[in-house]
């Protein structure tokens, strides 16, 4: 009973703030709504007994990714966005999404007894969502994807630094300067 209530609370919050992300006129409000969506999703992860990932979600998304996002928003000094105008192309896009959502609904509800009354998997141990279980899989069976992910992260770090770096004043036509570093960095 408590679990059901908790699910609907988290689901409602996730939906409400998810809507907030796309309707808020102020980018800062969008970003904060997204943070709340992640917190609500973390609540759902807790309900699924994936407690390690629930906290990782909060730490990585709320603690790192969204802080960076908010940092950029306040650096750029953005004004309120223009209201959304519905051009023909966008109307088609929205129609497509609505059709997709309707198809999904019909598919999920085609036999209400199938997915809505499922109990969790029988063979799942109590350790399923713990750090130990995930780490065991991550470092044995999925070692290659894990290593690739770390390579990707390294590449992303270097890429982000190179792209966001302030252009060097001594740099002319893409040629790296050979002189000394500018002092007013």
Partner 1 sequence: MIGLNHYLLLSGVLFCLGVLGVILRRNVLIILMSVELMLNAANIAIAAFSRYPLFNAGTLTQEDYMTAGNGLVFVFLILTVSAAEVGVGLAVVINLYRQRSTVNIEEVNLLQG
Partner 2 sequence: MTELSLAIYAAVRIGVIFSAVMTVVAFLPWIERKLIGRFQQRFGPYRVGPHGILQPIADSIKLVFKEDIIPNNADRVLFVLAPTLALITAVMNLAVIPFGPTFELFGISFGAVQVADVNVGILYIFGFASLGVYSLFLAGWSSGNKYSLLGGLRSSAQMFSYELSLGLSVVTVLMAVGDFKLSEIVLSQEGGFWNWWIVSPKWFVIPGLLGFFLLLVSAFAETNRLPFDLPEAETELVAGYHTEYSSMKFAMFFMAEYINMIVASSIVTTLFLGGWHAPLPYEPFVLAPGWMWFAAKVFVLLFLFIWVRATLPRFRYDQLMNFGWKFMLPLALFNIFLAACCLLLADRFAL
**In whole angstroms, what separates CA 64 from the centre of its chain?**
11
Q: How far is CA 12 from CA 9, 17, 20, 41, 43, in A?
A: 5, 8, 12, 10, 12
Site string for partner 1, 39-58 (x = CB under 8 A): --x--xx-xxxx-xx--xx-
Q: Which is nearer to partner 2, 7 or 52 (CB)?
A: 52
At closest approach, how far in Å is the CB of 176 from partner 1?
18
Q: Which of residues 78-137 bind partner 1 (CB under 8 A)?
A: 78, 81-82, 84, 90, 93-94, 97, 100-101, 104-105, 108-109, 114-124, 128-129, 133-134, 136-137
Measure the CA–CA gap between 51 and 131, rounded to whole angstroms: 8
Among 2, 161, 172, 175, which residue interacts with partner 1 (rule: CB under 8 A)?
A: 161
Q: How far is CA 78 from CA 30, 47, 71, 125, 129, in A?
A: 13, 38, 12, 49, 41
Residue with tokens 């919050």: 13
Region from 31-39, 94-102, 104-112, 116-124 binding partner 2, contact rule CB under 8 A: 31-39
At closest approach, how far in Å is the CB of 84 from partner 1?
5
Among 47, 131, 134, 138, which residue interacts with partner 2 (rule: CB under 8 A)?
A: 131
């Amino acid at each position: 009973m408590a679990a059901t209530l908790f699910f609907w609370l988290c689901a409602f919050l996730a939906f409400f703030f998810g809507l907030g992300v796309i309707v808020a006129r102020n980018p800062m409000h969008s970003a904060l709504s997204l943070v709340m969506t992640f917190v609500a999703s973390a609540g759902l992860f807790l309900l699924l007994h994936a407690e390690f990932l629930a906290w990782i979600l909060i730490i990585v998304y709320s603690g790192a990714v969204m802080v960076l996002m908010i940092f950029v928003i306040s650096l750029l000094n953005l004004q309120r966005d223009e209201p959304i105008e519905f051009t023909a192309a966008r109307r088609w896009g929205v129609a497509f999404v609505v059709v997709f959502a309707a198809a999904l609904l019909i598919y999920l509800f085609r036999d209400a007894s199938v997915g809505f009354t499922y109990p969790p998997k029988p063979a799942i141990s109590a350790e399923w969502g713990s750090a130990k279980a995930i780490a065991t899989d991550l470092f044995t069976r999925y070692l290659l994807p894990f290593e690739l992910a770390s390579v990707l992260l390294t590449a992303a770090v270097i890429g982000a630094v190179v792209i966001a770096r302030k252009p060097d004043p001594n740099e002319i036509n893409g040629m790296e300067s050979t002189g000394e570093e500018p002092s007013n960095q």
